[in-house]
Amino acid sequence: MERAKHTFRNGKSQAQQIAASISAHGNSRHTAKQAGEKGLVHGLGTERGLKQSLAQYAEWLHSRRRGDLRTSTREAITDYLHERAEQVGQSALNMDRQHLDRLQRHLHGQDVEPLPKVRSELETIRSTRAYTPAQLDAIRAAQTDRHALTTELAQRTGIRAHCAASIRPAAEQPRSARRQWSDARFTGPGGLLPPGSLYTVVGKGGLVREIWIPADLVPRLEARRLPMPERVTDRGVHYIRAYDIGYGQSWSQSFTAASKRALGWSNGAHGARHTYVQTRVSELQEAGWSYKDARLVVSQEVGHFRESVIDAYLR
């Protein structure tokens, strides 16, 4: 296959030329709307923000060897936004999404499907705190069996709420090949894997990552296997569900309600993920790992690829 030709030399020059094509100084919004032109930039401040967002995205494309702005795909934009979700707050993320929507329409026409909404991982992490094991025991006791199992999975594997809808044995749903994965993930003392089985989940941006489910949880999960996988939707995203367990918004709501009943307060379902991160980093340090290396390994176990991202989990 012939490699795509790159139109510009660097991200800044790419952004400037694309922004010039999208800008409409001197033309009213009403006139542009009548002409069927959506998302044109009329203000100088908006144009500056557009150039900055496009330049950052162009540099990301270059660093990942995924082409340039002219050859950008919807998949690449979505992957980028999910990585940005680990770095910036919701307002900055929304602005990037808006500008990259303009890029999509410029490249593929006005009727292209809008980009999916992405939640800031940074703000989600900062807004929650870990629970103790005893507190999570009390929360599970106040939940139905299907939601309680998901709570235990979150505590012991670090899955997010939506990931519970896509759990599959690794042999049925292989991990994504486009990332470099550490062989030290899930290991214990001596670099050995504890008793258990390898499964995968579909994470943010469609990234399929592995999780290690402890041996005592595997038969309980498999006992809830559906006769046939079914298509479900959570927060506008479609998943193929293979197990009758809680997932997504319904599980998060169950967790919050159970926490309030059992403890009188709630830090949110994401707090169970905090518990996993803190527990695993401590385990690896006790096994002789440095704090930095332990953070890097655990960051991959929970679907991140920079150890600094999980610092907020460790407060």
Task: List, in order of start, the domains of the chain with CATH numbers.
Answer: 11-122 (no CATH), 128-314 (1.10.443.10)
Average pLDDT, integer, range 87-100: 87
pLDDT at 31: 40
Average pLDDT, integer, range 188-208: 88
pLDDT at 281: 92
pLDDT at 35: 35
Average pLDDT, integer, range 274-295: 92
CA distance 33 to 37: 6
pLDDT at 257: 96
Task: Please report the sign of the dihedral spanned by the C-alpha atoms of residue 260, residue 149, residue 303, residue 195.
Answer: positive
Burial annotation 78-90 (CB, 10 A radius, 16+ → b, else e): bbbbbbbbbebee
- Decide: 304 and 296 in contact? Cβ < 8 Å: no
Which residues contact residue 278 at a Cβ distance below 8 angstroms, ignoring those fewer than 6 apart? 130, 313, 314
Say which residue, 277 or 89, is predicted with more confidence: 277
Give residue-wise pLDDT tens across range 22-72.
Answer: 776 444 444 444 334 455 655 677 788 888 888 889 888 888 888 898 898
- Residues of the chain above pLDDT 90, percent: 48
Give residue-wise pLDDT tens across range 202-253.
Answer: 987 788 999 999 999 999 999 999 999 999 998 878 899 999 999 999 999 9
- Residues of the chain above pLDDT 70, percent: 89
CA distance 296 to 307: 4
* Distance, CA of 112 to chain centre: 23
Average pLDDT, integer, range 281-305: 90
Give residue-wise pLDDT tens across range 142-158.
Answer: 999 999 999 999 999 99
Average pLDDT, integer, range 257-272: 94
pLDDT at 208: 92
pTM above 0.75, yes or no: no
Per the prediction, the chain carries an average pLDDT of 85
pLDDT at 139: 96
Give residue-wise pLDDT tens across range 218-228.
Answer: 999 999 999 99
- Of the candidates 103, 121, 83, 114, the one whose C-alpha atom is nearest the C-alpha of residue 305 is 83
- Of the candidates 113, 98, 13, the one whose C-alpha atom is nearest the C-alpha of residue 62 is 13
Give residue-wise pLDDT tens across range 160-175.
Answer: 999 999 999 999 999 9
- In one letter, which amino acid is 224? R
Average pLDDT, integer, range 61-88: 86
